[in-house]
């Protein structure tokens, strides 16, 4: 069975290489990269040489799609977090109208208040300090609370972006 999957993986990689340019493959890999990766790691995943990966990564950095960080003497590349955030804000603004956005914000605030009341803490970080290792429900709530807090921040930013756009249009 493993041999069959190896053959399928080889074929998928070959097809991907035939159907895309080296730049497109490097772009796709960087787009999926949350934690920095070296040009050598990106090259391996993108099926290109290291100099090609480095050249395309530098182009992505210069266009603002990617950013760099240093790990001792190695430059690591990853997608730009600000760009991802702005993409999420724009998507939300386009997909959800203002009344829906306001309702979502109201519901997320209420959900956060329920977590605060349930655990008698003001933040997920404070909750994390109180939870024991085996408290599955508490840890699940902590994760949901953090996610709700992130989603609330994005929704509020989308609302502010929408308001600013309307003000600039006037």
Helical segments of the chain, H only? 2-19, 22-31, 39-46, 50-62, 81-95, 98-119, 124-130, 136-169
* Residue in this structure with the two tokens 């690591």, named with its chain if needed: 76
pLDDT of residue 3: 67
Pair of tokens at residue 83:
């760009």
pTM recorded for the entire structure = 0.64
Residue pair 85/67 in contact by the 8 Å Cβ criterion: no
Please give the biggest Cα pair distance in the chain.
64
Q: How far apart are CA 148 and CA 150, in angstroms?
A: 5
More confident residue, 9 or 72: 72
pLDDT of residue 134: 85
Q: What is the pLDDT of residues 59-105, one digit of tens each?
A: 999 999 999 999 999 999 999 988 888 888 989 988 999 999 999 99
Beta-bridged to residue 77, according to DSSP, are: 37, 68
């Amino acid at each position: 069975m493993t041999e069959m999957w190896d053959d399928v993986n080889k074929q998928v990689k070959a097809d991907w290489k035939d159907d895309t340019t080296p730049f497109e493959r490097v772009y796709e890999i960087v787009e999926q990269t949350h934690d920095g990766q070296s040009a050598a790691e990106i090259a391996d995943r993108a099926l290109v040489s290291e100099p090609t990966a480095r050249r395309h990564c530098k182009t992505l950095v210069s266009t603002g799609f990617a950013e760099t960080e240093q790990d001792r003497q190695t430059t690591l590349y990853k997608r730009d977090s600000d760009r991802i955030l702005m993409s999420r804000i724009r998507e939300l603004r386009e997909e959800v109208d203002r009344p829906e956005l306001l309702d979502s914000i109201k519901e997320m605030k209420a959900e956060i208040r329920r977590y605060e009341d349930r655990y008698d803490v003001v933040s997920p970080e404070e909750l994390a300090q109180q939870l024991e290792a085996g408290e599955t429900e508490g840890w699940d709530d902590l994760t949901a609370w953090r996610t709700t807090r992130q989603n609330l921040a994005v929704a509020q930013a989308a609302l502010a972006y929408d308001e600013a756009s309307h003000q600039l249009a006037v």
